Structure 1
């Protein structure tokens, strides 16, 4: 299949705005031609949502005002009770609707922490039937769930001893990731001692944690909207980006829409970082954690792309396209998604 896109292309790691044409051949970026064009479209890499809990789709906006532990702590936080009470069919249907929204709004891949053991992994695979979005599923609760999934996602070092499951994941050649530093700094060191593929949240790092993250080049996924909803604080996003690879996730569907547009805008206006940095967090950096070659526009890369209408009422007249995409664009501006 051959396809040609025209407009302003946000090229490479720095998302340099380049007027021209982009040629796609059999799902790959075949050629990029710099040339004048009348097209007003904006062409950028599709998003990678680096941390989700899609199963929470059955309980959107439940538990308003509850603490983090009361909302999501295993085994008896509200979301876990609601998940146990829902049928598999209800969970699959709700997850399928969320996946459809993510796909249509430009998300090429997501890294999912999947509750429910092996059954939970099987349920999200069923929900993915017919979808083009790429999943990276981190099973939870057991080694069997890890083996059925693409890796293991730990709740946090304060909740359990994960040494055995960490070794099982290593033996299986699968990634191990863990929540850390969400409530306080006390679980960061034991989490890092497990040699994870990446950490999630890191809201409360001390200097020794930041130094270790940098020296070990340990990637971090930040979820700022979720952290504000649960009232745990704000990660030091700028300092983290100066030290390591930082990706962006929307976290629990229970608490937030899985919209990367909303997460980018919130992050850009909350943290003192450039639009290009935020866009990289939402695209290439997440793709690196997912083990994918996409997330930026270069010849030879997979053509996982998002096309925005640069002449929409919302975007027309923008003078800085990376800044407009990050701080202003939304689902209504999406013209096409190539997955």
Structure 2
């Protein structure tokens, strides 16, 4: 049956009791009815929450996780940074085939689903063959990501990436960046080619990689050429060095420069935006765009901490992403989003508003709203007309057994490390049951084979 009865369900207005959820054959919620009587023959669950949105992913980097944690030679450890990590990533990216991209993406998506993500935005910049030549079908690798989404059940927003330059001032690409090389016409052509795949479970937008890799004129041209309403994402102000380079070349900070030259609005997601001054923080909040925050990757790369408290107070919208995939858990992203701010301010309970003072509920609901906006898809809430994306939490686990509604998300996000996601419905399709993905073993086998092949090439 396409129905579920939840004793407790998190709706947009908060926790509700005895909620009957029904969805149609297309995976859209057709009924969300609180205070309902439990129908005969309908499955029941203790605690149900909307599936989380992962608004920033580089799927191929899943196979790189944990392989860069070795200090460089030298008494000072070599001052490892984002930039030294990036050189390692380039060498890794140079070898991956389309088949391996698909296998790695499927493994990642299955892991993300098991931990509670039901939508993902793929910031996809591996467009060309390893030598830098175009594929016979320019959308080849993007199609592989879409295939992985279909096979696993993950809802996907594909964002082909505009990547033309090696740095501010339109510096020529380095040899190891040729695989990423695209112009505006290339990206619009890929977007058009992917149009036949668009549907309830897949949207197509675009992404200027950064102001380092795309000129402001290119960003403007891409935004104008993309079909109306499609999402636009961009890396920005992730590193202090990027801010300094921007000032040197444009006399403006990156977010300041983007805001000054581009009509940034609700269809934009500014990924990281780590290093903002007070004026930029307020301007980003006023724009209606989403701040795409990736706390575990930002910590792994030593990026810094986003000014979350000031941004929330200014009315800013945000979502979370797993980026380089050192973690696949929305619990860990949200936990460290809050904990990073506690360390920064040396006090507790940072992410809240006067209207919602419960930290767990505020973080989950705010990340859902911002993530849904960033996907360009009808997700992010248990309400009629949205996608039937939901998580059934394990009500028998000691962390949740018999707890009050108001404590569920606090327990979920801030207590222990067990995965409390039991079952996952994505687009009306049960893709995870009893903690296992429906195709977990087959996906893992293809992933192991892809990683084995990559290791052989690298030796």
Partner in structure 2 of residue 101 of structure 1: 111
Q: Is the 8 A contact 2:126 2:141 kept in 1?
A: yes
CA change 1:301–1:123 in 2 (3 A) is closer
The within-5 A match list for 1:184-223 is: 184=240, 185=243, 186-192=253-259, 193-196=261-264, 197-223=268-294
Residues 61 and 109 (structure 1 numbering): CA distance in 2 closer, same or farther, change over 3 Å? Answer: same
- TM superposition shift of 1:131: 2.6
1:313-328 equivalence runs, <5 A:
313-319=398-404, 320-328=407-415
Contact 2:124 2:142 in 1 (8 A): yes
Residue 33 of structure 1 is matched in structure 2 by 34
Alpha-carbon distance change, 166 to 70 in structure 1, aligned in 2, over 3 angstroms = farther
Is 91-100 or 112-121 further displaced after alignment? 112-121
CA contact (8 A) 1:265 1:328 kept: no
Pairing of 1:10-21 with structure 2 (within 5 A): 10-12=10-12, 14=13, 16-21=14-19
Q: Which residue of 2 aligns with 1:302?
A: 387
**What is the deviation of 1:287?**
0.8
Output the aligned Cα RMSD.
Answer: 2.4
Aligned pairs (5 A) from 1:1-339: 1-12=1-12, 14=13, 16-26=14-24, 27=27, 28-34=29-35, 41-64=46-69, 65=71, 66-72=80-86, 77-117=87-127, 118-140=139-161, 141=163, 142=182, 143=184, 144-149=186-191, 150-173=204-227, 174-184=230-240, 185=243, 186-192=253-259, 193-196=261-264, 197-242=268-313, 243-253=315-325, 256-271=326-341, 272-273=350-351, 274-319=359-404, 320-328=407-415, 332-339=419-426
TM-score with structure 1 setting the length? 0.88
Distance 1:336 1:216 in 2: 37
Shift of 1:201: 0.8
Kept after mapping to 2: 8 A contact 1:105/1:331: no
Question: In structure 2, how many angstroms separate the alpha carbons of the residues matched to 1:11 and 1:172?
Answer: 33
2:5·2:45 contact (CA, 8 Å) conserved in 1?
A: no
Q: Is the 8 A contact 2:235 2:272 kept in 1?
A: yes
> Structure 1 residues 155 and 62 mapped into 2: Cα distance closer, same or farther (>3 Å)?
farther
Q: Measured at CA, do residues 257 and 245 of structure 1 come closer, stay the same or move farther in structure 2, by a change above 3 Å?
A: same
Does the 8 Å contact 1:11/1:297 carry over to 2?
yes
**CA distance in structure 2 between the partners assigned to 1:70 and 1:151 by the alignment:** 30
Aligned residues: 330
Q: Tell me if structure 2 keeps the 8 A contact 1:7–1:42.
A: yes
Kindly indicate whether the alpha-carbon contact (under 8 Å) linking 1:155 and 1:178 is maintained by their aligned counterparts in 2: yes
Distance 1:229 1:9 in 2: 34
Q: Judge conservation of contact 1:58–1:94 (CA < 8 Å) in 2.
A: yes
SS of the aligned residue for 2:187 comes to helix
List gaps (5 residues or longer) in structure 1.
none
Q: Distance in 2 between matches of 1:51 and 1:298?
A: 24
**Gapped regions of structure 2 (runs ≥ 5):** 39-43, 72-79, 128-138, 164-181, 192-203, 244-252, 342-349, 352-358, 427-459
Structure 1 residue 314 displacement after superposition: 3.2
Partners of 1:30 and 1:330 in 2: CA distance: 34
Moved beyond 4 Å, runs of 4+: none
Q: Distance in 2 between matches of 1:81 and 1:23?
A: 48
TM-score, structure 2 normalization: 0.66
1:129–1:43: structure 2 CA closer, same or farther, 3 Å change rule? closer
Larger Rg: 2
Q: Measure the CA separation in 1 of the matches of 2:113 and 2:214.
A: 34
- In 2, the alpha carbon distance for the partners of 1:292 and 1:128 equals 15
The C-alpha deviation readout for 1:173-227, integer Å capped at 9, x for no partner, is 2433211121134322223333341211111111121222133223211112211
Contact in 2 for aligned 1:278/1:326 (Cα 8 Å): no
